[in-house]
Structure formats: structure tokens, C-alpha cells
Structure 1
Amino acid sequence: MASTILSSGVRNNLLTLQQTTAQQSVIQNRLATGRKVTSAIDNPVNFFTSQSLSDRSSQLTGLLDGISNGIQTIQAASKGIDGITKLVQSLQSTVKQAQADAAQNRPTKAGTALSSATEAAVTSKSLKDIALDKRIRDTTGVDVLDDGIANAATASSSGDLGIVEAQTFLGLSITAGTTTYTASFPSANATVRDVVNEINKSGIATAFVDEKGQLNVKGTGSETVAFGFGTSAVDGAGAITDAAAVGTNNNTALGFLANDGAAATSALTSSNITSAVRSNLIQQFNDIRDQIDKLAKDSSFNGINLLAGDRLSIIFNEKTGANQTKLDIQGSTLTSDNLGIVQATNTQLTGFFNFQNDLDLDKATAALTGSMTSLKSLASTLGSNLSVAQTRQDFTKELANVLTTGAGALVLADPNEEGASLLALNTRQQLSQTALSLANQADQGVLRLFG
């Protein structure tokens, strides 16, 4: 079969029309898929580079779930510490309530009466005032023999306790627990009131004369108190030594037994009266203490509890081995025992806080203060780790977005550009079709020669 030979004009216009149609097809495919590079054939460099960037972006996006879980785990532990801190504050409040209670078990002792009804009748004063005004040393003129025998008060004299006049210095020695207070002062003109005032300066004991004329000495805390009163003809140091020595009889002048304790007087021991207020606070303290352990056990997320000693690893990049970037957080086992908070009790037992004892309450206060310091330190550490994890989370999101954008820039088509190109090709196609029609008309002009 013979082939048809087209004229040069028709052939050129037809070729142009075919090229335009092919370009239209390419652009239409780009607009349909949104990509200008769909395979390695289109652009191998851009195709494989884009694929690598997309893969890394996908891997980083996959790590975001793990980072998010890690952040929630840290926040769960942080919330646990916040709760435990409030419980420790409640314990502090409980201890303060116990300390504020007017303790009934203060060690106390009352001596024999230093004044009598006969003296009250003679002086027209109360037994209390007579006792307070009495001098310590034997008053010259009333008892010229200075024989160490107490002189009763008269209408013109306050009387004395009978300490021989040669003892020119008086001394006090007071010991409560591990604290000792000593003082000395001249005996001339010194009265029972001076002794009371000196005892009250100690801070570890108080003294007063009651309405019966008895000198009362009472510890300010729960610890056993040893009280001694001494004299010296030489100096104040000698009087203090005498006050603390065993065997002195000077305490008798104040109405106390001379030598039935470790010091010059019998020890002032607890009356063993249990405070009902403090007893009620013991159960409250122990219940709150137990809640600390329970709250710490409940501070887990997705099976990991940083307050139970668990370890958390948050992976930040897609690499492995030495090139892997991650954050390792070693948790702490948080319990009331580890915080130094032991149980409370009503008696003196090793490893417990005796709520009836002021010294133990002071120890409880110190332990709770230490617990708060430990909690603040742990909260600070978790806060720092949380900040790192959140920063890396934001960075990973932004980096994944950058990678996705970069990958798209290599293979995605610009719809505006492609649309403009398609419009131009459509116009070119119309012009090519018109030119082809004109070329055909020129060829048809030959036929008129045979008309």
C-alpha cells in the first residue's frame, strides 16, 4: 500500500500539534498527582534525595509518640512529688499542733514549804510573798551565832534560809538532757526571788513559789532535769561546782532533798501524764505518713514509675548505637522511710517519734524539713529533665516539618506554574490547529485547476 506524503507545511504543523499535546499530557499529570517528579526517570537526583528526606521525617515523626510518653511519665512523677510535698506539709502541721499542746508531762518538783502560817500571822503577808522575800544567807543580827539554822520572818525581818554567812557565793547547776546551765552570784542580800529569777533565765527550766510557800522547779521540755543549788566561801566557780556535786546539803535550804540523784538534788522526772491531744495526733501522723508511700506507688505512667526507682529512656533521633541521641532518667525510690519520716508512738522507742516527748517532736520537725529539701531537689531534677524532653519534642516536630518541606520542594509541582503552562499550551494547540487547517486549504487549491 502506498504511503501518503504530506506537504511540508502540513507536516510541520502536525508535528507542532503533537508536541503540544504531549506537553499538555505531562502538565495535566502533574496537576492530577501534584508532583513534578514521580519516578527516578523524571529526575533521579531529586527523586532519591526527596525519598531520603521523607523517610527521615517519617522516622522522626514516629519517635514523637515515645517522646510524648516520656514527657507524661516525668509529669506523672512530678505530680506525685507535688502531692507528697503537700502530705509532708500536713505532717509538719500535725507536729506543730503537738508542740502547741500544753504538755502535761513536764518534769517538775515542789520543795517543802519555805514559810509558815505563824510567819504569815506575824508579817501579815501571804506565804508566797514571805518565801520570795527570804534571804538565802543567815542574817547577821537575827542569829548572831551564824549557825546555819534558818530564821523565821518577823514583823521587822523577812527571815532567811540559814545558809552560813561565810558562804559568800551562791551557784546553780541545771541539766536537761544534754544541755547544762550554770550561774553564780554573790550571796549578800540574795533572796529566794533572786534564785527564782536566775532559774528562769536558764531557758531549760522555770521556777515559781506557789501559794503554799513552796519553791517549784519545772523543766521546759520533756527531758529529765537535774537541779542543784550550791555555795562557796571562795568564788562563784566553787559555788557552781558545789551545786553540781553529789553529797551537798545546800538544796535542803530550798526545800529539796540534798542527795538522791545524780546531782545535788533528785532528778526532776516526767510525771508520766500522757497528753490526750498528742495521742490523738499520733494516728493522724501515721495515717498521713502511710499515704506518702501509697501516693508514690501510684505515680506511674505506662508502667514506668520514676518514684519507684524505675529507669526511663527517651530516644530523640532515628540512629542507633553510639550515634543515637537519648535522655536517660534514673528514678528514685521515694518512701516515707527514705525521706527520714519514721512512725509516731506514745512511748520512747528506738526508730519512732515519741509524741509525748518535746525533743522527739523537735527531731520530727528537723526530719520533715530535711524531707522537704529532698523533695525540692528531686522536683528540680525532674523539672530540668522535663524541660529537655519538651525542647527536644518541639525540635523534632520542627525538624520533621523542615524535612517534609524540603522533600516536597524537590518533587512537588507548583500548581500555579503548571496551570499557567497548561493555559499557554492550550492556546498554542488552538493556534497549531488553525495553522494546520490553513495548510490543508493551501493544498486543496490545486484541485481548482481541474475544475
Structure 2
Amino acid sequence: MAGPILSSGVRNNLLTLQQTTAQQNVIQNRLATGKKVNSAIDNPVNYFTSMSLNDRSSQLTGLLDGISNGIQTIQSASKGIDGITKLVQSLQSTVKQAQADAAQNRPTKAGTALANAAEAAVTSKSLKDIALDKKIVDATGGTAATADGATATSSGDLGIAAGAFGNRLAISVKAGSTTYTASFDGANTTVRDVVNEINKSGIATAFVDEKGQLNVKGSGSDDVEFGIGNAAPASAAAADITAANAAAVTAAGTGGSNTAIGFLAADATAVGAIKGQTITSAVRSNLIQQFNDLRTQIDQLAKDSSFNGINLLQGDRLSIVFNEKTGTNQTKLDIQGSTLTADNLGISQAVNTQLAGFFNFQNDSDLDKATAALTSSLTSLKSLSSTLGSNLSVAQTRQDFTKELSNVLTTGADNLVSADSNAEGASLLALNTRQQLSQTALSLANQADQGVLRLFQ
């Protein structure tokens, strides 16, 4: 059955009203969804481009979690280095405490008295002054070692006999690997001259005490050897015991020479020099355990500096991915960790004796080595900390960049499909007005058609 026949005016107004309603529905949908492109039908280019941008933004956002974990892993290692640095500084303090006790830890040897009460009575001098003023070489000459006592007119001598090179004398002082030698004109050399020369060596000090005994004390904690003699090595080019050839004076000083200055033959080593024995320091001994405990904490702290199962201080490898691509197009940061231990830092254990590969806390030289090792350790830690800091800066920069890029991509996608609520609202208002006008026009058209009815009234 055919529908009603509408007049041209009614039909045109009805079509306009239908179009207006359709446009209202579109705009209302845009306002409801906030998008001007809701499907590929609306705008295929913008729709699919927006989807691509949103997908990449979503992938980058997903990578932010991995980047954040990487940053925390680096920071965890960095905090570990900070802690280890403090431990090394504590080790330095421990070594300094041990070094501060060095004055009580010196190898010392005291000889027998070089003066006696009878000489003091004759000269009216102290035993110390009598001993210091005595000459070394036998004043009466000859090869026999005859000591002459001090008198009112003579200072006396120790009776060392003149050797093949006359009255020339030499001393040798050795501490650890350092040897000091000096030569004298023995005819006028006194005990005071020998004392002064030993004090010049820098590796030992000497003095005559109130008992008239010659004391030799090391400046460091290495065992000290001292010898005096009046014969040069057979290879000497001249009749003078110079610093160059006096290194063998300890051999010349066996027996009589050392005995003459107050050191017994029983005190002599195989090469004829007396050997002062190191005094064990109780303070240093007590610091050994403290040093080793701190050293152990370095290893333990390094083991605890992990995050999410990765520890850059135990040689683990960290990889932080920065983009969504794969293969050669993928950008990432690879960080190879280091195995951080006290041994790797060059910090040896402390002991109370001389052992290879350990720090002997009773030895000044070893304490100096420990100080140097700890300083080197701090340098290594600073270098490692700087490397981690550089990597951390890269990771944080990429994190900020990824956030901003994701925001740019999302904004770009929204610009392609999002509706302008102000513009759409204005359009809807205009369409509502048009709808009202169309409805009025349609009503007027109907009234025109109704005019035909009047013909039948």
C-alpha cells in the first residue's frame, strides 16, 4: 500500500529536519565519547594513525617499569659503594691509631757500660759524659785491642786496633732494606761522633744513657743492625773506608769492634752486626681484630647491594631497554658489574707477624703499605662510583625522555581523533535552533495543505 502523498513543501521541510536530527546525533555522540573519530568509517587515515601512535605510546609506557628497575639497581650499587667507602675510611682510622702507637714499637738495643765508677771518680764527670768523650781507636797504637780508661788528663779510648788502612773507621746501620754508611778519621773519632752520625741516618737514633751505655733504636719497626769496623773490603781502591765501600763494615765489625763499643759478641748476627728486637705493641695487636672485622664487612656489604636479583657489585650484568624495537634497531644500556671484595681492592688481612700477603701491624713499613693500599682502594671506589653515576644519569635521562615522548605520542593521537567540546557544543546549539526552525517550517507547510479543506466547508 503506498504511503501518503506529501506536498513538496512538507517533503523538503521533513528532509531538512531529518538531516538536522542526524547531525545532532553525530555531535551528541562526539560529546559523549570525546572523540570526533570513533571508527575507521569516520576518518580511516586519522583513526589508524591514532591507533599506531597510541600503541607505541603504550609500549614505551610499559618500558618505563624496566627503566625504573634499572635505575634502582644502579642506585642500590651506588649506595653499596658509599657504604664500602665509609668502611675503608674506618680502616684508615684504624691504621692511623696503630701508627700513633709507633713510639712504643721500636727495635732497641742497649750495650754494656763504656765507663765505670773509677773513671767517674778520677774525672769528676758523669758516666754519660765519660762515655761520649772516649775515642774509638786505641790511642796507644798497635794491633792489640787495648782499651784505656779515662783519666784526669785523658778521655780514654775503646781500644779498637788500627787496621790495614790505619785509623780509618766506618759504621753501617741497616733497617729493613735500607742501609746507611759513613766513614771517619778514627784517630780523633769519639763515641759522640758515632752517636751523631747514627742520628743523621734517619733510620735509627743513638744516645748514651746515664749508665754510660750506648743505645741504638730504630726509627721504624724493622729490625736494626749496627756495626763498626776499621778495615775496608779487599776491593777498596784507596786506604779510606768511604760510603761506597763501607757497606761491608758489618763483616769487619765482628767480635772485637762491636764488643769494644759495648755490644757483646753474642749479640752479633751471622754478619757481625747487633740486632735490636722489635717490641710487640699491645695497642696494635688489639687493633688487628678491629681491622679484620671491618674488612669482612666490605665483602658482606657488597653482597647485600642487590636489587631485584641483580647485584652490580658482584659481577652481574644489567641491561636497560629504552625503545620498543628489536634487533639492531633496539636501543639499550648494558652495564657490566664488578666483583667488589676486600681482596680485589688490595686490602689484605692484618696479622701480628711478618707474613707474605698480609699487613703486619707491628711493622711501620707494613702500616705504610696498608695506608697506601687503602688510599688506592678509595681511588678505585671513586672511579667505580663515577662510572655508575654516569650510567645512572643516562638511565634517568632516558626515563624522562620516554615519559615525555609517550606524552607527545598520546597527545598527537588525541589531536587526530579527539573532539573539540566547545566547537561541538556550539554546533549542537546551532542544530537545535535549526531543528526548531525546521519544525516551524514544517508546521507552516502543513497549514498550507490544510487550506484545501476550506473548499469543502
TM-score, length-normalised on structure 1?
A: 0.91
Distance in 2 (CA, whole Å) between partners of 1:33 and 1:241 is 101
Is the deviation greater in 128-137 or in 306-315? 128-137
Contact 1:119 1:153 in 2 (8 A): yes
SS of 1:237 mapped into structure 2: coil
Indicate the residue corresponding to 2:275 in structure 1: 267
Residue of structure 1 aligned with 2:347, choices 332, 341, 346: 341
Contact 2:280 2:362 in 1 (8 A): yes
Indicate the residue corresponding to 1:131 in structure 2: 131
1:399 is the counterpart of 2:398: no
Deviations, residues 273-315 of structure 1 (Å, cap 9, x unaligned): 4321111111111111111111111111111111111111111
Indicate the residue corresponding to 1:158 in structure 2: 155
Contact 1:17 1:433 in 2 (8 A): yes
Deviations, residues 18-67 of structure 1 (Å, cap 9, x unaligned): 11111110000000001111111111111111101111111110111111
Is the deviation greater in 248-257 or in 91-100? 248-257
Distance in 2 (CA, whole Å) between partners of 1:48 and 1:30 is 18
Indicate the residue corresponding to 1:99 in structure 2: 99
> What is the CA-CA distance between 1:164 and the residue it aligns to?
5.7
> What is the CA-CA distance between 1:103 and the residue it aligns to?
5.5
Is the deviation greater in 304-313 or in 260-269? 260-269
Indicate the residue corresponding to 1:116 in structure 2: 116
> What is the CA-CA distance between 1:169 and the residue it aligns to?
3.8
Q: How does 1:14-413 map to 2 (within 5 A)?
A: 14-102=14-102, 104-138=104-138, 143=140, 149-163=146-160, 167-187=166-186, 189-231=188-230, 234-237=239-242, 240-241=246-247, 243-246=249-252, 249-257=256-264, 260-270=268-278, 273-413=279-419
Is the deviation greater in 153-162 or in 219-228? 153-162
Opposite residue 370 of structure 1, the aligned amino acid is S
Opposite residue 179 of structure 1, the aligned amino acid is T
> What is the CA-CA distance between 1:214 and the residue it aligns to?
0.7
Opposite residue 433 of structure 2, the aligned amino acid is T
Opposite residue 169 of structure 2, the aligned amino acid is L
> What is the CA-CA distance between 1:269 and the residue it aligns to?
3.3
Opposite residue 346 of structure 1, the aligned amino acid is N
TM-score, length-normalised on structure 2?
A: 0.90
Opposite residue 183 of structure 1, the aligned amino acid is A
> What is the CA-CA distance between 1:264 and the residue it aligns to?
4.1
Identify if the C-alpha distance between structure 1 residues 247 and 119 changes in structure 2 by more than 3 Å, giving closer, same or farther: closer
Contact 2:298 2:341 in 1 (8 A): yes
Deviations, residues 180-221 of structure 1 (Å, cap 9, x unaligned): 112234446433222112111212111111111011111222
Is the deviation greater in 126-135 or in 283-292? 126-135
Identify if the C-alpha distance between structure 1 residues 124 and 253 changes in structure 2 by more than 3 Å, giving closer, same or farther: same
Distance in 1 (CA, whole Å) between partners of 2:384 and 2:198 is 46
Indicate the residue corresponding to 2:434 in structure 1: 428
> What is the CA-CA distance between 1:252 and the residue it aligns to?
3.3
Distance in 2 (CA, whole Å) between partners of 1:145 and 1:63 is 98
Distance in 1 (CA, whole Å) between partners of 2:151 and 2:183 is 29
Distance in 2 (CA, whole Å) between partners of 1:56 and 1:93 is 55
> What is the CA-CA distance between 1:78 and the residue it aligns to?
0.9
Opposite residue 46 of structure 2, the aligned amino acid is N
Identify if the C-alpha distance between structure 1 residues 2 and 121 changes in structure 2 by more than 3 Å, giving closer, same or farther: same
Distance in 2 (CA, whole Å) between partners of 1:298 and 1:73 is 12
Distance in 1 (CA, whole Å) between partners of 2:187 and 2:32 is 117
Pairs aligned (count): 446
Distance in 1 (CA, whole Å) between partners of 2:247 and 2:31 is 108
> What is the CA-CA distance between 1:391 and the residue it aligns to?
1.0
Indicate the RMSD between aligned Cα atoms, in angstroms: 2.4
Distance in 2 (CA, whole Å) between partners of 1:169 and 1:246 is 12
Contact 1:256 1:265 in 2 (8 A): no
Structure 1: 5+ residue stretches without partners = none
SS of 2:422 mapped into structure 1: helix
Identify if the C-alpha distance between structure 1 residues 237 and 264 changes in structure 2 by more than 3 Å, giving closer, same or farther: farther
Identity percentage of aligned residues: 79
Identify if the C-alpha distance between structure 1 residues 373 and 144 changes in structure 2 by more than 3 Å, giving closer, same or farther: closer
Distance in 1 (CA, whole Å) between partners of 2:393 and 2:96 is 36
SS of 1:267 mapped into structure 2: strand
Distance in 1 (CA, whole Å) between partners of 2:247 and 2:355 is 34
Contact 1:133 1:193 in 2 (8 A): yes
Contact 2:253 2:273 in 1 (8 A): no
Identify if the C-alpha distance between structure 1 residues 373 and 241 changes in structure 2 by more than 3 Å, giving closer, same or farther: closer
Contact 1:343 1:353 in 2 (8 A): yes
1:437 is the counterpart of 2:443: yes
> What is the CA-CA distance between 1:80 and the residue it aligns to?
0.8
> What is the CA-CA distance between 1:158 and the residue it aligns to?
3.0
> What is the CA-CA distance between 1:404 and the residue it aligns to?
0.7
> What is the CA-CA distance between 1:172 and the residue it aligns to?
2.0
